[in-house]
Amino acid sequence: MLIECKITSKKNTEFIDITRTITKKIEKTNIKSGTCCIFIPHTTAAVTVNENADPAVKEDMLMELNKLIPFEDGYKHLEGNSAAHIKASIMGFNETLILDNGKLVLGTWQGIYFAEFDGPRERKIYVKLMEG
């Protein structure tokens, strides 16, 4: 089963907790056990799993990514978003999670984050549930 979600970012770069969005979509299905693949069909955005209890973690992640990959650094790509492409490539466009008893298996402090690197924009997130 393929599920499409839409999200609107508000900033140029930000991490958006999408755990609840994904969880609600999964709850509407009858799939109780299997694999959940979250796919981002964009080249300037990513998805990651990290701590969601302390908002400072996502701020620290953005701060370090911006140090490593500054917005302007003599890039050859003319659209002005080379840093966004590089950050998205490093972070990755997919995550695979376990689904058990109709719920995602996540650690106590884990959440799913959409990483926006070229916003604000409306974005798509695909969730593929594979029963088994």
In which element (H, E) is residue 60 found?
helix 56-68
Residue 12 belongs to domain with CATH number: 2.60.120.460
* Rounded distance between C-alpha atoms, residue 48 and residue 111, angstroms: 8
* Rounded distance between C-alpha atoms, residue 1 and residue 25, angstroms: 11
Which domain range does residue 96 map to? 2-31+40-71+83-125
With tokens 């593929």, the residue in question is 128
Q: What's this model's pTM, rounded to 2 decimal places?
A: 0.95
Pairing of strands 110-116, 14-17: antiparallel
Residue 96 lies in a domain: yes
With tokens 């999408």, the residue in question is 18
Residue 117 lies in a domain: yes
Residue 61 lies in a domain: yes
Residue 131 lies in a domain: no
Look at residue 81 in the predicted model and tell me its pLDDT.
97
Residue 106 lies in a domain: yes
Residue 132 lies in a domain: no
Residue 77 lies in a domain: no
What is the total count of domains within the chain? 1
DSSP assignment of 92-130: -SEEEEEEETTEE---TTEEEEEEESS-S-EEEEEEEEE
Question: Is 14 exposed, middle or buried, given 0-12, 13-18 or 19+ CB atoms closer than 10 A?
Answer: middle
pLDDT means over runs of 10, the chain (132 residues): 97 98 96 98 99 96 97 92 98 99 97 99 99 94
Residue 60 lies in a domain: yes
For 105, the token pair is 């298996």
